[in-house]
Amino acid sequence: MLHPTRRTARAHPPHRHAQPKPTMKPLLLTFLSAVTLAASAHATVILEWNTINGDGTNNAYAAIGIAGNNGAVGTVNSGLEASSANLTRGIGFGSSGFAWSVNRLNTQNGAALANLTAAISDNQYVGFTLDPLAGQQFSLSSASFYVHSQSNGVAGELLFSTNGFSSYTSLGSVTNSNGMGGTTGTLDLTGFSALQSSTAATEFRIYFYGNSAWELRGLGANADLTPVFSLNGSVTAVPEPSTGLLLVGGLLFSAMRRRPNAAAV
C-alpha cells in the first residue's frame, strides 16, 4: 500500500530589509557645523574707533597706530592693512566746526537729506576699507555704531561694496531716537556670504539721511560714549589647498569604512 509522501515544511529565513547606503551628506553637515561654530567662537573686535575729534574739523580719522590720528584710540587687527582702515568723509559730509560736540563726527549744519538715494547722490557719508593682508581673510559677525542728530529721526545706513560703489549692498540702519544723546545699534552681518572668508578689499560707508530739519548729524554721541564704531568678526590665515584635500580625503575614508559594516547587518 502506497503511503503519501510526507512533506516537511521548509522554514523561510526572516525577511531582511535593505539597509540604506551611507552617504556623505551627514558627514559634510557635521563638518560644516563644526567649522561654523569654531568661527563664531573666535569672533572679536577687529576694527573700532573709541574717540573722534570733538568738532569734526579733520577730513580723516584713523584707528590706533596711524600718524596724525588726532587722539583717536581704537583697534585695527594686525591682519588688515591699517592705512586702508582710516575713517574718511565723503565730499558732501563737511565738518561742522562746533567745538561743543564731545565725541562725534559732524556734518555741516544744514538740511538733512530725505532718503538714502539723496544721501548717496550728495556723498553724505563716512567710510573705510577692510583690506586683508596677503594670505589673510576676514569674516564679519556684527557692526555697532552711534548715530546722533539734534532731533530724532536721522538714520545712518551701513553699505558695502567691492567695486568702488558701482554697486552696493545694504547691511541695515540705525535711527537716532535720543536727540543730542545719540542712539547706538548693532547689525547682524553673519547672513552676508560676501563678508565671510573674504580676501577682497571691501569698502564700507555709513550714509546719513532722514528728518529734513536744519541740524547737525553724524557718527558719535554728545558724550564720551565709546566705542562710536565697532566691527566684530575674525581675521585668519587663508587655509592651504592641501589642508582642504586632507579634510575631504578623511571624510571619504570614513564613509568607505562605514559601508561594509552597514551591508553586513
CA angle 79, 33, 41 (to 5 degrees): 45
Per-residue pLDDT of the chain (265 residues; tens, 9 = 90+): 555 555 555 555 555 555 555 555 554 444 444 444 444 446 799 988 765 554 444 444 444 333 333 334 467 888 998 878 877 778 887 766 554 444 556 555 566 788 999 999 999 888 889 999 999 999 999 999 988 887 888 899 999 999 999 999 999 999 999 877 788 999 999 999 999 999 999 999 999 998 766 777 787 765 655 677 889 999 999 998 765 555 655 666 666 666 555 444 4
CA distance 80 to 142: 17
CA distance 146 to 176: 8
Residue 175 · residue 154 · CB < 8 Å: yes
Find out if CATH 2.60.120 is the number for domain 42-238.
yes
